[in-house]
Structure 1
Amino acid sequence: MKHPILALLLGGLLPAILFGVSGVMQKACARTGIGTGPYLAITGLAVLTVGGLLTVVEHDVTVSRKSAVYTLLFGALWATGVGCIAIALRRYGGQISQLVPLYNMNTLVAVFIGLVVLSEWRDVHWGRLLVASVLIVTGGVLAATSSKGVLGP
């Protein structure tokens, strides 16, 4: 298989499936009762385990101060976002079917930052990007308002 196809499968399709199933697991955690702190700590242990296994398998311990700082920032942002989702699910009875489309609008945040900060604006097809953005927002709004009696009719 060619590298671009492998990249799409490994970096796109497989994570989509894994993240989708993990969303369901997150709802299961909320239903069975777990505090946000312990939830994030146990998740951190799982991340540590997977990171250790991948380090052994890939034989790659490359790290620099700058990459470590970016990784710490990534982890703190990710954990805070996941913590917010956990609170919404457990404390406020949020529905995973509504939250996932909303928090996956993070795509637009990443695209915007990529366009501006990383200068990717030079290499994009603006028409397609605009249509994709409208579809993402429309899907998020439709999903968020899909629950009977909450925001929807």
Structure 2
Amino acid sequence: MASNLPGLIIGGLLPALFYGISGVFAKSSSNAGMSVGGHLFVIGITVSITGVLFNVLLPGNMPSLVAIASSSMHGILWGLGTGCVVLGLIKYQVPLAKLVPLYNMNTLVTSGLALMIFSEWRAVNPLQLFVGAGLIVAGGILVSGA
């Protein structure tokens, strides 16, 4: 486990912090009158700038068409999800504190797909995965008031 620790911190804890704080800015943006399309447009520009910085600081290989297509699908799906979150905030005035536990159930979708597509079922403890998934669902139900 110790050899995975830097990867878990950089790839897990820091994104949790960044994504968590970013939700507050989504609500702040919508409260300030930003439209869903405008919100996504500004995010797209700033994500592109962030990508340029990462590419300069950590240059990599020339991507394949499969890599480009996969990154494009990631962006489309992420944009649709983010747009739906902002729409829920703007049009339906749903509290951010209720939305976040629900949309973060995305971990169940990603985990399930990774288990099947990438055969990650070989590298996980099924009991821990099942209990963790149950807690995520219970938390989403509890916080959303469903």
Once residues 130 and 58 of structure 2 are traced to their aligned partners in structure 1, the CA distance between those partners, rounded to angstroms, is 38
Normalised by the size of structure 2, how large is the TM-score?
Answer: 0.94
Structure 1 counterpart of 2:139, which letter?
G
1:127 is matched with 127
What is the aligned residue count?
145
Once residues 18 and 61 of structure 2 are traced to their aligned partners in structure 1, the CA distance between those partners, rounded to angstroms, is 25
2:97 is matched with 97
1:148 is matched with none
2:31 is matched with 31
Normalised by the size of structure 1, how large is the TM-score?
Answer: 0.90
1:111 is matched with 111
Unaligned runs of 5+ in 1: 146-150
Q: Deviations over 1:20-60 (max 9, x none)?
A: 11011111011111111111000000000000011111122
Unaligned runs of 5+ in 2: none
Q: CA deviation at 1:62?
A: 2.7
Structure 1 counterpart of 2:42, which letter?
I
3-state SS, counterpart of residue 83 of structure 2: helix
RMSD after superposition? 1.2
1:55·1:61 contact (CA, 8 Å) conserved in 2? no
3-state SS, counterpart of residue 94 of structure 2: coil
2:17 is matched with 17
Superposition misfits of 4+ residues, deviation over 6 angstroms: none
1:30·1:86 contact (CA, 8 Å) conserved in 2? yes
Q: Deviations over 1:49-108 (max 9, x none)?
A: 000011111122531111000010110000000000010001110111111111000010
Q: CA deviation at 1:122?
A: 2.3
Structure 1 counterpart of 2:76, which letter?
A
- Taking a change above 3 Å as real, the CA distance of residues 106 and 63 of structure 1, as seen in their structure-2 partners, is same
Once residues 21 and 66 of structure 1 are traced to their aligned partners in structure 2, the CA distance between those partners, rounded to angstroms, is 31
Does residue 8 of structure 1 match 2:3?
no
